[in-house]
Amino acid sequence: MYLRVPWKRGKKILLRAIKIVVFLVFLAAAGFGGMRLWSYFNSYESTDDAQIDGDIYPITSRIAGTILHMPVLDNELVKKGQLLTELDPRDLTMSVDLAKATLRESESQVAAARPNVPIASLATETSISNSGSDLENVRAQLAGAQKDRESALADVRTAEADLLKAQGDLTRYKQLVDKDEISRQQYDQAVATVRSLAAKVDAKRSTADADTHAIEAAQARLRQAMTTKAEAESNRPQQLALQNALVASRQATAGVQRTQLERAELTLSYAKIVSPVAGIVGKKSVAPGQEVAPGQQLMFVIPLENLWVTANFKETQLKKMRPGQRVTVHVDAYDREYEGTLDDFAGASGAKFSLLPPENATGNYVKVVQRVPVRIRLKPGQDPEHLLRPGMSVDPKVWLN
């Protein structure tokens, strides 16, 4: 009895010690686990206010027309450049044909006007050359007329001298015939000689007068020839400039017609509406036979290759977030995680981009934690089946370390 009591007491002490040790171990494990858990929760920032985002291309018509053919359906995958809608091109084709005909007419007018430039140049050179030749001929005629007049004046002087001598002889013959020293016949012959020489003087004077008139006429022709040559030389650059201006005008008209043809061909190309990117068709709102107007929305094309995540984090979560940090994105639809990278932050909070941004104009200000959109870029090659769609809800985790 005496020996068994200490053993029971020692057993109780041992059990108590074991319990203390177990408690301390559990406490240490709980503290270590709590620290690890605390460290884990502090190693990332997450939000459930996030979704898949991407570009959405509205497909519109640039011209008015009637839909002739629409070979795609809603939710159909299309390639870049694939035909989505075709408008009736008949009116546009007629406009192109008319523009081509007008351009050919303008080009023919240019071709007809272009040779007139060297022809006008040659014609003006010929005119200048002819006027120069006429001028030289008139100068030669003037010189000849002046020589003829000088010769005629000399003849007049000679005839006057002969007449003066004959008149002197007639005076002497008169005295002699009165004295009957010579015959009456000799006297009459002297009278006839005087009369003949007087007529000769008159004729020579008339010739001299005619030569004077010829000189005056030659001088008038000379002035006219000089004026003609000066006009030809003065008109030559103007005529060439006129022909060049005519060619330039017709070339400009042809350029306008060429531009109109290019515009008509461009408008014709708008009759075929193709996909700007590879993606999936959505919200198709028209059908064949329907009239469409310029700018009318026909459908959307959503590319599935370039998707990202837009996550609206609270402003209190942005303290340690930096571009380039690793992100895991959990997609609710497929219960699957995707890898990504924090790309950048929006320029303002989401409230500032709303239709009616909040304004503290009344003075009754209540501080509300704002959310800032954050873009998360998904790593390529994670969605080969194109399962992700813009608008899907996701839960991103941004790992801070």
**Predicted local confidence at residue 220, as pLDDT:** 75
- Burial of 204 (C-beta count, 10 Å sphere; 0-12/13-18/19+): buried
Q: How confident is the model at residue 83 (pLDDT cuts 50, 70, 90)?
A: very high
> Is the pLDDT higher at 356 or at 5?
356
- Residue 115, both tokens: 């040779």
Is position 229 within any domain? Answer: yes
* Residue 336 · residue 81 · CB < 8 Å: no
Please give the structure tokens belonging to residue 365.
């200000």
The strands making up 279-282's β-sheet, listed across from edge to edge, are 57-60, 297-302, 279-282, 77-78
346 and 370 Cβ atoms separated by less than 8 Å:
no
Give dist(CA 210, CA 223) in Å, integer.
Answer: 20
Would 217 be classed as within a structural domain? Answer: yes
Q: Which of 354, 288, 340 is nearest to 66 (CA)?
A: 288
| Residue 386 counted as domain residue | no
Q: Which of 166-180, 198-212, 223-237 has the highest mean pLDDT?
A: 198-212
3-class secondary structure for 124-169? HHHHHHHHHHHHHHHHHHHHHHHHHHHHHHHHHHHHHHHHHHHHHH
| Residues 360 and 387: beta-carbon distance below 8 Å | no
In a domain, 349, yes or no: no
Instruction: Say which CATH number the domain at 199 has.
Output: 1.10.287.620
The pLDDT of residue 102 is above 70: yes
Residue 87's nearest CA partner among 63, 106, 113, 117 is: 63
In a domain, 118, yes or no: yes
> What's the confidence (pLDDT) of residue 356?
73
**Alpha carbon 300 to chain centroid distance?**
31
Q: What is the mean pLDDT of the chain?
A: 80
114, part of any domain: yes
Residues 81 and 73: their CA atoms lie apart, in Å, by 16
pLDDT at 41 over 80: no
Higher-pLDDT residue of 123, 213: 213
Could you tell me the CA-to-CA distances from 67 to 154, 284, 299 in Å, in that order? 106, 13, 13
Q: Is the pLDDT of residue 93 over 60?
A: yes
pLDDT in tens, 281-336: 999 999 999 999 999 999 999 998 889 999 999 998 998 899 999 999 999 999 99
pLDDT value for 2: 43
pLDDT for the residue numbered 237: 64
- Domain assignment present for 65: no
Q: Give the pLDDT of residue 3.
A: 46
- Which domain range does residue 221 map to? 109-268
pLDDT above 90: residue 130: no
| pLDDT: which is higher, 308 or 123 | 308
Domain total of the chain? 1
What is the mean predicted confidence (pLDDT) over 113-138?
62
The answer as to whether 133 is a domain residue is: yes
Query: What are the tokens at 34?
Result: 């709590």
